[in-house]
Amino acid sequence: MNKWLNRRTANVCVALLVILAVSGGFISNRASAQDEITLTMSAWDVATTPYWQAVIDAYEAEHPNVTVELIDVPSADYQDTMNIRLSGGDDTDIITVKDIPGYSAMLTRGQIVPLNDLIEASGVDLSAYSGAAEELTYEGSIYALPFRSDIWILYYNKTIFDAAGLDYPTNDMTWGEFGALARELTSGSGADKIYGAHFHVWRSAVQLGTVQDGLNTIISDDYSFMAPMYDMVTAMQKDGIIMDYGELRAGNIHYSGPFENGQVAMLPMGSWFIGTLVAAQADGVFDFDWGVASYPHPEGVAAGTTAGTLTSLAINEESDNKDAAWDFVQFYTGEEGAKVLAGTGNLPALRTPEILEIFASKDGVPVEATDALQTTTVRLELPMHPNVGEVEQILNEEHELIMTDSLSVEEGLEETTSRISEVLQ
């Protein structure tokens, strides 16, 4: 009798809950422990990128009622494909945001959901992302949370330093100290020449150091703030401290070549290069000792301030499973997802000492990585702006003119200011 009464009471309660939900005009689409739900998530190059599925597997292990299916798009076509799909009403639940121009396009078209209310309700601590979340904020709203963040650091050849009798770079080195050290490390000539440093041909290799102070960004109405960095790099090029930009361009020389050949003492580059060097050393491509240090910083800027790129997750405005998608996004971008990501040899956007220890414990990763990868602030390579694509094109063109000495630093930056001002009007 009591069991019958209990079952009857339970049935009545369920019925009342359904009535209340319907009468309220809303039935939550959050996946409860009993609901079977399938989420879809856009991604690229799934077959060659193990971390996509690794984090999903960890989530599904904790949520056995949820299945997450990856929508695989070739990396080179990713943003164009997603633009077409989303414009056509695609309802993929979770959208992976590959870069800032793509993020900017999706949010201005209203294709992804603002997350502010969800973040506040869930108590997500955005400060844990070391400034990365602020970089994704546009006009007070944030539409994605970062899960992967590659930062710029400094690679160095220990064998060259030892031969020169110089101390290794520290995690608190200014650009001025970097330049002076590079001059001390330069030696030899011809095939035996050792270059004190190497700047790859990307504009970012020079320009990122100009925005570390947070006072300036790549979107500006005056680019004269870049002059000190360009003056230093062009002087190093003129004096043979670094390889010639024109020769690197003409030879289509990848930055890995000079470093792995032992021709370069120091190389500012992204953290993604760690995995490349670990694999190359394991394959016997080179046999010298190497290390990493924090990215050099301008005078007056805190050590550990660097620039980076973000990969983040957003929720599709057309998704029928927004609540369940948010639960998944929190896991993927939070500490649990970060630990899984670090275990695959990738740098998460969330980097606690424990997470960095997981990353640094991978075979071949330099012991200095745990400290070198600690960040104070991460500035985004490209900030949010509706015209960021056009601005980047101009910056690339003017960078080449300066580095090939077709324009002086002053002339190039004046022309950059003039051209970009027209775009921003």
- Confidence band of 193 (pLDDT split at 50, 70, 90): very high
Q: Output the pLDDT for position 143.
A: 97
> Which of these ranges, 295-309, 320-334, 347-361, has the smallest mean pLDDT?
347-361
> Which of these ranges, 175-179, 335-339, 343-347, has the smallest mean pLDDT?
343-347
Provide the phi-psi class of 272: left if phi over 0, else alpha when psi is between -120 and 50, else beta.
alpha
Average pLDDT, the chain: 88
- Confidence band of 110 (pLDDT split at 50, 70, 90): very high
Q: How far is the CA of 84 from the CAs of 2, 259, 376, in angstroms?
A: 59, 40, 38
Q: Output the pLDDT for position 104.
A: 86
Q: Indicate if the pLDDT at residue 7 is higher than 60.
A: no
Pairing state between β 377-380 and 305-315: parallel
Residue 399 to residue 97: CA distance in whole angstroms: 27
Provide the phi-psi class of 82: left if phi over 0, else alpha when psi is between -120 and 50, else beta.
alpha
Handedness of CA 245, 251, 255, 258 (dihedral sign): negative
Q: Output the pLDDT for position 131.
A: 78
Residue partners of 168: CB distance under 8 A and separation at least 6:
156, 158, 161, 291, 293
Give the range with max mean pLDDT: 15-24, 112-121, 348-357: 112-121
- Convert the pLDDT of each residue in 206-224 to its tens digit: 999 999 999 998 899 999 9
Average pLDDT over residues 151-176: 97
Residue 319 to residue 316: CA distance in whole angstroms: 5
Residue partners of 367: CB distance under 8 A and separation at least 6:
360
Residue type, 145: L
* Of 165 and 134, more confident: 165
Which one-letter DSSP state was computed for residue 46? G
Average pLDDT over residues 141-151: 92
Q: Output the pLDDT for position 273.
A: 85
Which one-letter DSSP state was computed for residue 375? -
Q: Indicate if the pLDDT at residue 255 is higher than 50.
A: yes
Backbone angles phi, psi at 94, to 5 degrees: -115, 125
The DSSP result for 142-206, as a single string, is E--EEEEEEEEEEEEEHHHHHHHT-PPP-SS-BHHHHHHHHHHH-B--GGG-BBS----SSTHHH
Q: Output the pLDDT for position 39.
A: 98
Among 75, 86, 14, 26, residue whose Cα is nearest residue 46: 75
Give residue for tokens 């990353």.
359
- Confidence band of 297 (pLDDT split at 50, 70, 90): very high
Q: Indicate if the pLDDT at residue 13 is higher than 70.
A: no
Among 147, 164, 195, residue whose Cα is nearest residue 338: 147
Residue 338 to residue 147: CA distance in whole angstroms: 7
Which one-letter DSSP state was computed for residue 233? H
Burial class (CB in 10 A: 0-12, 13-18, 19+), 362: middle
- Convert the pLDDT of each residue in 58-97 to its tens digit: 999 999 999 999 999 987 689 889 999 999 999 999 999 9
Residue type, 388: V
Q: Output the pLDDT for position 326.
A: 98
- Convert the pLDDT of each residue in 357-390 to its tens digit: 888 888 888 989 888 988 888 887 777 777 887 8
> Which of these ranges, 13-17, 51-55, 137-141, 262-266, has the smallest mean pLDDT?
13-17
Average pLDDT over residues 199-204: 93
* Of 347 and 205, more confident: 205
* % of the chain at pLDDT higher than 90: 64
- Confidence band of 34 (pLDDT split at 50, 70, 90): low
Contact status, residue 133 vs residue 333, Cβ threshold 8 Å: no
Give the range with max mean pLDDT: 79-83, 266-270, 274-278: 266-270
Average pLDDT over residues 269-287: 87
